[in-house]
Chains A and B, each alone.
Chain A
Amino acid sequence: MSFLAHVFEWFTTSANWTGPQGIPTLFLHQLELSVAVVLTAIVLGGGLGVVLGHTGRGGLVAVNAANAFRAVPTLALLTLLAIQPAISLKPGGSLAQWSGFLASWLALTALAIPPILTNTYVGMREVDADVRDAAKAMGLTGGQVLRKVEAPLALPFVMAGVRTASIEVVATSTLAAYVSYTDLGTYVITGLNTNDSVVAFSGALLVAAMAALVTLALSLLTRVLTPIPLRRTGRSRGLVTDPGLAQPAATANI
Chain B
Amino acid sequence: MFRRTFMSLTLGTAIALSGAFSATAQSEELTIFWAEWDPANYLQELANIYTAETGVTVTVQTTPWPDFQTKTFAEFNAKGDAFDMVVGDSQWVGAGSTGGHYVELTDFYAKHKVLDSMAPATVKAYSEYPGNSGKQWSIPLEGDAAGWAYRKDWFEDPKEMAAFKAKYGYDLAVPKDYKQLRDIAEFFHRPDEKRYGIAIYTDNSYDAMLMGIESTIFSYGGELGDYSSYKVEGILNSPQNAEAVEMYKQLYGFTPPNWGKTFFQESNQAITENLAAMSMNFFAFFPALANKASNPNADVTGYFANPAGPGGAQHAALGGQGISIVSYSKKQEASMKFLEWFIKDETQKKWAELGGYTCNKAVLESEAFRKATPYNEAFYQTMFIVKDFWAVPEYAELLTQINNGVYPYIISGEGGSAQEVLNKVSAEWVATFKKYGR
A binds B: no
Contacts from A to B (Cβ < 8 Å): none
Contacts from B to A (Cβ < 8 Å): none
